Amino acid sequence: MINDLWFTIKQLDENSYAISEYGHWEKVHSFLLLGTEKAVLIDTGLGIDNIKRITDQLTTLPIEVITTHVHTDHIGSHEQYEIIYVHESDKDWLVNGIKGLSIEQIRKDISRDITLPTPETFNPDKYQPFQGEPTGLLKDGDVIELGNRRLIIYHTPGHSPGHISIFDETNGYLFTGDLLYDETPIYAFYPSTNPYDLVNSLERISEIPNVSMVYGSHNTLGLEPKILKEVKNAVKFLRENELTKFGTGIHKFNGFSVHF
């Protein structure tokens, strides 16, 4: 296995890898999924260091990037890859810049609470999120075939308009981006988010059958599928108590929390 100063690589199975950035407070995970014909990289991390250095060591297959959503910590190394996909509702953010977050706030967030040495190429004062045209647009229900592996795209807006979750039907892995993870709250409290949509999206992923493991983009790497039962209960609670709106605060459940 690769030993790297910035990235931590964990092999999930023979053809799946998590590439994590534990030296940053956001504890971001990107995921490399290998097939017989091509590979998919789910997100490209913070951009503090170049994730392509890692993926080049893990596979010689052509790599296509699938973007869970267009926030800084998920598009950091997009410029290193030729083929990039994003949901059609987040295309504008990828091309013209992320709405609702100033460059000053982005630079502040990218540079704080770092616990590992960063490469000399990283200068937070000049940090600029990727902007560019995607190779193609994704929509709900799209299927991506890797040869021996089938990925299904679910449009799960709320955290961003074009947020997606990816279900690896072959292995039962559900990649939830920033829709579901543990330890820190799921965020839907700033203007570019939508609490109502987020709750609908949580309900939707809770009903996906045959999930063997849930992989969020932050914090604990891999959550048992029983968390989806807790998600279903949380959705019911939030709706019955009319909490799915801005300003209702942090709501804690068994295994995760949501901040509106």
Could you report the per-residue pLDDT of 165-210, keeping only the tens digit for each? Answer: 999 999 999 999 999 999 999 999 877 899 999 999 999 999 999 9
Residue 123 has which token pair? 């200068």
Mean pLDDT of 20-35: 97
Residues 141-146 have a mean pLDDT of: 97
Q: Is the pLDDT of residue 102 over 90?
A: no
pTM to 2 decimals?
Answer: 0.96
Instruction: Give the residue from 226, 232, 211 showing the smallest Cα distance to 168.
Output: 211
Angle among Cα 11, 16, 21 to the nearest 5 degrees reads 60
In the prediction, which pLDDT does 98 show?
A: 87
Residue 1 clears pLDDT 90, i.e. is over it: no
Amino acid at 24: H
pLDDT band (50, 70, 90) for residue 27: very high
pLDDT of residue 2: 87
For residue 168, give both structure tokens.
């690896």
Enumerate residues 6+ apart whose C-beta is below 8 A from 98. 70, 71, 72, 106, 129, 192
**Tokens encoding 189:** 């409290």
The overall average pLDDT reported for the chain is 96
Locate 170 and state its tokens. Answer: 């072959």
pLDDT above 90 covers a percentage of the chain that reads: 95
Domains of the chain and any CATH numbers = 8-259 (3.60.15.10)
Q: Is the pLDDT of residue 37 over 80?
A: yes
> Which pLDDT band holds residue 61 (cuts at 50, 70, 90)?
very high
The predicted pLDDT at position 154 comes to 98
